[in-house]
Structure 1
Amino acid sequence: MILLISDLHLEEERPDITRAFLDLLHGRARGAQALYILGDFFEAWIGDDGMTPFQRSIGEALRELSDGGTAIFIMHGNRDFLLGKAFCKLAGARLLKDPSVVQLYDEPVLLMHGDSLCTRDLGYMKLRRILRNPVVLFVLRHLPLRSRHRLARKLRSESRAQTRMKANDIVDVTPEEVPQVMQQFGVRTLVHGHTHRPAIHKLQIGDQAARRIVLGDWDRQGWVLQVDEQGFQLAAFDFVNPQLALPGA
């Protein structure tokens, strides 16, 4: 069994989400071969040197799972792209490039955070290119912590305001971009988060059937994609009762 999650946006102000995540680690994830976290794990991350006690406690909880034999992989999101090697070392996790192709039960699967697929959001794509530039990343990591805190608050505030003003199709993936990326990497299954629109979309790429699986964000409920011998199952669960409610159950 392999589990994939994304968009938890962990922060001290949402203890309900934190409890649900820890319940997952102490429960279902205990028997998993691997846990993949596809970005926006934290609501904000200003650098490993600015790690808070709360964030450190999350890393320690992941380390406990890793020490128990579950491989942990973390991918950058648009909120936590400064997360680095120090946190991964603490958590016993490996940093996964975006995008990456991994073998899930003998099937090559393309994993992405998903923001790079939203190509119609021209303003965001321009900002993304700037912030992910290696030179800019170097400068950001060496800014004083106070400056990084101010910048993070500013970016989050502007992002929320702009998202409310944009049309729904602008902040979703570009339909034409999906098959192009999947063909580029030679896969028939794509898994991503970011858009907060959980679903399994059936696609046709050439003469082959394909699918795009969108992970849900953790807000009013949690979402987990479970991959095993039975296939891919995308499920939501209630924070109060973390028992997975599988589709059709």
Structure 2
Amino acid sequence: MPHTLFIADLHLSAGRPDITAAFLHFMEHEAPEADALYVLGDLFEFWIGDDEPSTLNRQVAAAFRICREGGTPVYYIHGNRDFMLGRRFAAEAGMTLLPEHKVIDLYGEPALIMHGDTLCTDDAGYQRFRRITRLGWLQWLFLRLPLQKRLKIADGIRGRSARSKQEKSVTIMDVNQAEVERQMRRAGVRRLIHGHTHRPAVHDFELDGRPVQRLVLGDWYTQGSVLRIGPDNTELQRRELNKDMP
């Protein structure tokens, strides 16, 4: 049956081989059967540059390329952890980089897709940090630092981010409903798909008197999360991680 797949927030890293194994299994056995695969950000725990020669990066690139060469296109929207993933890696992986907000056609119905962090407007501190880290000249400087220096900076940012989350309320880190509605109106859609919040759910509500839907992908920390959409069905599914991995 025709269908399109969406994943997000895998946060792949060398320290979680179980997640990597689950992802590679998904890429080998499920993705090739889809009409298209959309990755909505934070595939990696962090990204310090396309020039990082890690085994993990090469495995992921190869999995995407095999999928694309088999006839399933792969599309990628940057997340808040891997926003510097660039054209060099995309070319190696055979995937298409999309802008942070994109309207796509899903079997005759337009849908707005994004990572989702731009919806969390109540978290003013994060939004300031986001604006700074997206500055082109700052990214240019960062990518010209030695790899080990970049890795050290990334580890420091991750540590500060973890401490910051412990001090914030759950509500602040979730999406702002008014921003959700604003983005959907602006895009002219009745369906919004995103990740980032790690709260998988299907939210049905009314917008300007019409039924609309917000679909939220889950993370892959304790289980996989896959959104499967076909012409007549929508399923937010779970996947088991590979428990045999050390």
Per-residue CA deviations over 1:85-110 (Å, capped at 9, x if unaligned) read: 11111111001111111111111110
Query: Which residue in the other structure is 1:152 paired with?
Result: 154
Distance 2:191 2:35 in 1: 20
Aligned residue number for residue 35 of structure 2? 33
Q: Which ranges of 4 or more aligned residues in structure 1 deviate by more than 4 Å? A: none
Q: CA RMSD in A?
A: 1.1
Q: 1:1-249 residue pairs with structure 2 within 5 A? A: 1-240=3-242
Matched residue, 1:244: none
AA in 2 matched with 1:213: L
- 1:198 aligned partner, one-letter code: P
Q: Tell me which amino acid in the other structure corresponds to 2:87.
A: K
* Cα deviation, residue 139, structure 1: 1.8
2:21/2:242 contact within 8 Å kept: no
- 1:116-153 CA distance string (max 9 Å, x none): 11111111100000001122222222222222111100
TM-score, scaled to structure 2: 0.95
Post-superposition offset of 1:240: 4.2
- The Cα offsets for residues 8-63 of structure 1, whole Å up to 9 and x where unpaired, read as 00111111111111111111211111100000000010010124122111101111
Secondary structure at the residue paired with 2:14?
coil
Q: How many percent of aligned residue pairs carry the same amino acid?
A: 44
Q: How many residues align?
A: 241
* TM-score (ref. length: structure 1): 0.94
Q: Mind listing any 5+ residue stretches in structure 1 that lack a counterpart?
A: 242-249
Deviations 1:58-84 (A, max 9, x none): 101111111100000111101001100
In structure 2, what is the Cα distance between the partners aligned to 1:238 and 1:49?
A: 32
Q: Which runs of 5 or more residues in structure 2 are unaligned?
A: none
Which amino acid in 2 is paired with 1:194?
A: H
Given that 2:73 and 2:95 are in contact with CA atoms closer than 8 Å, whether structure 1 keeps it comes out as yes
AA aligned opposite 1:72? V
